[in-house]
Structure 1
Amino acid sequence: MTGTHGTGHDIRAAAREEGLDARLVVERGAFRLDVTLRVAPGEVVALLGPNGAGKTTALRALAGLTPLTGGRLRLDGRALERTPPESRPVGVVFQDYLLFPHLTALDNVAFGPRCQGATKAQARALAAGWLDRLGLAEHVGARPRRLSGGQAQRVALARALATRPRLLLLDEPLAALDARTRLEVRSELRRHLAEFEAVAVLVTHDPLDAMVLADRLVVVEDGRVVQEGTPPDIARHPRTDYVAQLVGLNLYRGEADGHVVRLDAGPLITTTEALSGPVFVAFPPGAVTLHRDRPVGVSARNLWRCEVAGLETHGDQIRADLGGELPLVADLTAVAAAELDLRPGAAVWAAVKATQTHAYPV
C-alpha cells in the first residue's frame, strides 16, 4: 500500500513539474525586468507589450542569451539558470530568422540535429521530414536568398523544431512579412503551434498575432506583468491604457454607485452594470456618436462637450481624437465626418448609450 501511494505521489509531483516555471529578473542600468511565467506543455503564451517593455529581454533570458540577475528558470523540473544556451532544450525563431546564407534550407534545418550528435544522413533525413511537413519539400536545395519571406520563416521554424525542443521561443516571427504573406503564414503557424506538444512562448507587439496564435496573453509594461489572461478576457477587461488602445477601447477608472460611475477623469457616466466601489468603464470608439450642436431629446447622462484634437484614417473609417470634458476616441464614416465638418479645434458633443458601456471591478 505504501509503495503504491508513493508512486502516485511521484507521478503527481512529476506532472506539476512539467512545463515552464520561471521568474525572470534582469537588471540593466535603471531598467529592471521582473516577470513570472508558468506555461504548461502544449500551451502557447504571448508576451505582449510596447517597445522597451522588456519582452525581448525576457525571451533572451529564457534562451540563455541574457543572464538572470535573480529569480529562477525551471523547464520540466530541471533548473536552467546555469545551463549554457547551446545545452538548453530550447528552439528559437528570431525576428530576422538568422538562417545561414551559405547553407541550403535542408542543411540549415539539419544543423541543430548535427550539433546534437546525429550523423549527417540522420540529420538530413530529419530535416527533410520537417521541411515536408511545413510544405517546403520543393525548396530543400534552395539557399535563403532564393526563398520568399514566408518560406524563410518556415525554414526557421523547421530548424527550431528539428532539435525537438521542450521550449520554443518566437521573437516577432511575422514582423518581416508583407501583409498578404503575413495573413497566410499566421494561419499556418497557428496550425503548427497547435500541434506542438511542449511549451511555446511568443514575443510580439502586434495584438492580432497574439490573439490568433496564443492561448494566453501576458502583457508586460516597464518590465513587469500588468495583466494576463485569455485573448477574449484581455479584450473585454483591459486594465491599462496600453491594453485598451491595443484592443481598441476607451478605458476609464472611477468609483461606482449603482449604475452611475464618477470617473477619475471628472464627469459621471451611466453604465448597464450596477456595481459598487472602484471600477473600470470601457466602450468602443464605434459606440460614440458626435454632434455639432447639443442633441435634442438625448439624455445628458452620457453626453459630453468635447473638442477635436486630431483626425486620422483608421481602416475604412475616420478616427477622431477628442479632448474636453472627457478625453475619448470616436470612429465614424468619412461621410459623417464630412457632414459634421470635423477638423482640429472644432467643438462637438459626444454621446454614448449606457447599453454600449461595460463596467467591471478594478
Structure 2
Amino acid sequence: MTEPHEAASAPSAHDAHASEEGLDAHLVVERGAFRLDVALSVAPGEVVALLGPNGAGKTTALRALAGLTPLSGGRLRLDGTALERTPPESRPVGVVFQDYLLFPHLTALDNVAFGPRCQGATKERARARAAEWLDRLGLADHAGAKPRRLSGGQAQRVALARALATRPRLLLLDEPLAALDARTRLEVRSQLRRHLAEFEAVAVLVTHDPLDAMVLADRLVVVEDGRVVQEGAPSDIARRPRTDYIAQLVGLNLYRGEADGHAVRLDAGPPITTTEALSGPVFVAFPPSAVTLYRDRPTGASARNLWRCEVAGLETHGDQIRADLAGELPLAADLTTVAAAELDLHPGAAVWATVKATQTHAYPV
C-alpha cells in the first residue's frame, strides 16, 4: 500500500556517497508459492527493524542478508561491495540468532573469541578482544562460565559480544529478546538499545514485537506477504498506519474511505466525521480509548459519530477492558472495569458507540 517513489533525474553527490556506505539491498527470494521482494537501504549508524506477522518473510530477509539463504534475484551491496556471491563465513556480518546458539562446551570468553579466531587472529589476541567485549557488556565476571550457567539475559549479551567481536559492518539480530521472560526482557531491551546506539555500522533486527521495534530501531520497515507495506520513523508509523496489521499493532481502529470535506464515506460501513477537511482516498484512525459506549441511544451527545453495535467479545487489556464490537462499524473500545460492569457488558449485548470528530485522525492514502 506504499506509494512508489519518483525516480530522480540524476543522482546527487549525497546519493552517490551514500551508495558507497552502508547497506543497499534488493532481496528477491522465491520459495514455492512464496516470493520475498524487499528493498532495504540503511546508513551506517542506523538501526532498522523488519517488523511483520509470522510468515511475512522477515527471517527469510535476514537469512538472505547473512548469506544463509541464496537470492533468486536482486542485489546485495555493503559499503559499496557486492556480496551476492560471497560465502557467509567471508561476509563482514555478525548475527545474533533467536536462540543465541552459543557453543555449550566453550566458556563465555571462548565463545566470543571464536569469531576473531576464524578471522585469523591468534588465540591470545582473540581472547584479549573477547575479554574487552565481555567487559563492555558487563560480563567480565562471567568470562569463565559456560552457557548452561548463564541467565537468559547474560547469554543474550554473550551472543551479542560474539557478533560484535568480529567487527562486522552489518549486524543482524533475529528476534533478539524473544527467548527472555518479561522482567529480563525489560532490562535487556534497555541495555541493547544503548549498545546499538554506539554501533557505528549497519544494524538490522527482525521482530514481531512492536515494543522491541519502537524502542530499538530508528526506522521501521513493515513486511507483509513478502513485501514492504510501510516504512518510516516509529512515531510516524504509529500515527499513520496503512494496513490493518499495523493498526492493530499500534492499537488503533483503522478505516479506509473517500473524503469530501469533513465527511469520509467508508469503503465498507457508515460515514465518519473528522476534524481534517480532505478530498479523495483517505485513512481514518482513532484509538479504542476514544470510544464511549452507552446501552441506550444517547440524547444530546456532543459526538458527531454515533453507531449501533453489538458486543462480540471482551478481554482484559492492561488495566482496562477491551470490547470487540460488531455491527454498523466493527471497532474496538477500551473502558474501565467499573464502566464495563455498570453497562452490564457481555457478548451479544446491544450498545451505542460514539467518537468525537476531534479524536479522529484522517490522512491521505
Normalized against structure 2, the TM-score is what? 0.95
Asked if 1:4 is matched to 2:4, the reply is yes
Identical positions, percent: 91
CA deviations 1:121-142 (Å, max 9, x no partner) are: 0000000000000000000000
What secondary structure does 1:267 align onto?
Answer: coil
Judging changes above 3 Å, is the alpha-carbon distance between structure 1 residues 258 and 108 closer, same or farther for their aligned structure 2 residues? same
- 1:110 is matched with which residue? 113
Q: Give the distance between the partners of 1:35 and 1:345, measured in 2 at CA.
A: 43
**Deviation, structure 1 residue 186:** 0.3
CA contact (8 A) 1:306 1:349 kept: yes
Q: 1:22 to 1:15 in 2, by over 3 A?
A: closer
Specify whether residues 260 and 134 from structure 1 end up closer, same or farther in structure 2 by C-alpha distance, changes over 3 A only: same
| CA deviation profile, 1:23-44 (whole Å, cap 9, x unmatched) | 0000000000000000000000
**TM superposition outliers: structure 1 runs of 4+ over 2 Å:** 1-5, 7-10, 13-16
Kept in 1, the 8 Å contact 2:303–2:357? The answer is no
User: Given the alignment, which residue of 252, 255, 258 partners 2:258?
Assistant: 255
Query: Aligned-pair distance for 1:286?
Result: 0.3
Q: Distance in 2 between matches of 1:30 and 1:343?
A: 42
User: Following TM superposition, by how much is the alpha carbon of 1:4 offset from its aligned partner in structure 2, in angstroms?
Assistant: 37
Deviation at 1:16, TM superposition (A): 3.1
C-alpha distance in 2 between matches for 1:4 and 1:148: 46
Relative to structure 1, the CA distance from residue 311 to residue 112 in structure 2 (aligned partners, 3 Å threshold; closer, same or farther) is same
Contact residue 2 and residue 229 of structure 2 kept, 8 A: no
User: Using the alignment, how far apart are the partners of 2:162 and 2:48 within structure 1?
Assistant: 21
Q: Using the alignment, how far apart are the partners of 2:112 and 2:53 within structure 1?
A: 32
Write the mapping of 1:153-232 to structure 2, written as runs, cut at 5 A.
Answer: 153-232=156-235
When residues 255 and 3 of structure 1 are mapped into structure 2, their CA distance, relative to the original with a 3 A threshold, is closer
Q: Write the distance in 2 (CA, Å) between the matches of 1:307 and 1:275.
A: 30
Which residue pairs with 1:126 in the alignment? 129
- Alpha-carbon offset, residue 264 of structure 1: 1.1
> What secondary structure is seen at the aligned counterpart in 1 of 2:3?
helix
Does the CA-based 8 Å contact 2:193-2:215 persist in structure 1? yes
Contiguous gaps of at least 5 residues in structure 2: 6-11
Given that 1:130 and 1:158 are in contact with CA atoms closer than 8 Å, whether structure 2 keeps it comes out as yes
C-alpha spacing 1:258/1:64, structure 2 compared with 1 (3 Å): same
The Cα offsets for residues 44-94 of structure 1, whole Å up to 9 and x where unpaired, read as 000000000000000000000000000000000000001000000000000
Change (3 A) 1:270 1:109: same
Shift of 1:265: 1.8
Answer yes or no: is 1:56 the counterpart of 2:64: no
- Alpha-carbon spacing, 1:2–1:147, altered in 2? closer, same or farther (3 Å): closer
CA distance in 1, matches of 2:45, 2:36: 26
Structure 1 residue 300, shift from structure 2 partner: 6.8
Structure-2 change in CA distance of 1:300 and 1:186 (3 Å):
closer
Contact 1:268 1:301 in 2 (8 A): no
Is the Cα contact below 8 Å between 2:303 and 2:356 reproduced in 1?
no
Determine helix, strand or coil for the equivalent of 1:188.
helix
1:357 counterpart residue number: 360
Two-structure CA RMSD over aligned residues (Å): 4.9
Q: Number of aligned pairs?
A: 359
Going from structure 1 to structure 2, the CA distance change for 1:15 and 1:296 (only over 3 Å counts) comes to closer
Task: Report if aligned partners of 2:260, 2:278 keep a CA contact under 8 Å in 1.
Answer: yes
SS in 2 for 1:313: strand
Q: Gaps spanning 5+ residues in structure 1: where?
A: none
